[in-house]
Amino acid sequence: MAQYAILIYTHDSAHAPDATPDDLETCDRHSDELAASGSMVMAYALTPRDMATSVRADAITDGPFLDSKEVVAGFYVIEAPDLDAALAIAGSNPVVRDGGGVEVRPVHSAWTAPQ
């Protein structure tokens, strides 16, 4: 098994600070499915683009790093035997049928702070 990070690209994150359970229903359902299947290792949902701040050597600016139609709305890490399996899991993300898409990247290494 190998780990793959899946980056969710969409117009904006549904996870606004004041988001209702209804707003998040689709995301949550997919997340539950992945968790139930045992393939998901971890997941992070990010707040919308308005909350983003970018830092460069010469300036700090409001907004996402890239001026693009899509932003990274969240990311998660899955385990899969090979790329085809990872792509199949990634392709089941509801955002793919909703005008957005996902990027799949093999994980090189990971570190988390000891609890």
Partner 1 sequence: MTDAAAVEAAVTDAHRRDWAWVLAATVRVARDLDLAEDCVQEAYAAALRTWASAGIPDNPAAWLTTTARRRAIDDLRRDASLRSRLPLLVEPSGALDEAAARERQQQREHAEAEEDALRAAAPDERLRLIFICCHPALAQEAQVALTLRLVCGVAVSDIARAFLVSEPTMAARITRAKKKISTARIPYRIPSPGELPDRLRGALAVIHLLFTTGHTAPSGASLVRADLVDRAMRLARMLRELMPASSDVHGLYALLLVTDARRATRVDADGRLVRLADQDRSRWDRGALAEAHDVIVGCLQAGPPGRYALQAAIASLYAEAPTYEETDWPQIVALYDRLTVVWPSPIVALNRAVPLAMVAGPEVALAEVERLERDGRLSGYQYLPAIKADLLSRLGRAGEAADAYRQALALAANEAERAFLTGQLDGLLWADGSLAVGGAGVGDNRRHRRDEERDHGHDHRREDREAPDQGPGRHDQDQADAHQGEVGPPPGGQAERAGLALPAARRRRGAARRRAVMRFLRHPPHAEPPSLPGVLYPRWPLPRRSRPSRPG
> What residues line the site for partner 1 (CB under 8 A)?
2, 81-84, 87, 104, 106
Phi-psi region of 99 (alpha: psi -120 to 50; beta: other; left: phi over 0): left
- Write down the least CB distance from residue 18 to partner 1, Å: 33
- Write down the least CB distance from residue 25 to partner 1, Å: 23
Of the two residues 25 and 82, which places its CB atom closer to partner 1 in the complex? Answer: 82
What gap in Å lies between CA 97 and CA 39, rounded to an integer?
Answer: 21
Q: With contact defined as beta carbons under 8 Å apart, do 43 and 77 qualify? A: yes
**Residue 20 CB partners (closer than 8 Å, separation 6+):** none
Of the two residues 52 and 104, which places its CB atom closer to partner 1 in the complex? Answer: 104
Of the two residues 17 and 81, which places its CB atom closer to partner 1 in the complex? Answer: 81
What gap in Å lies between CA 94 and CA 30, rounded to an integer?
Answer: 7
Of the two residues 51 and 104, which places its CB atom closer to partner 1 in the complex? Answer: 104
- Write down the least CB distance from residue 65 to partner 1, Å: 23
- Write down the least CB distance from residue 84 to partner 1, Å: 6
What gap in Å lies between CA 27 and CA 31, rounded to an integer?
Answer: 6
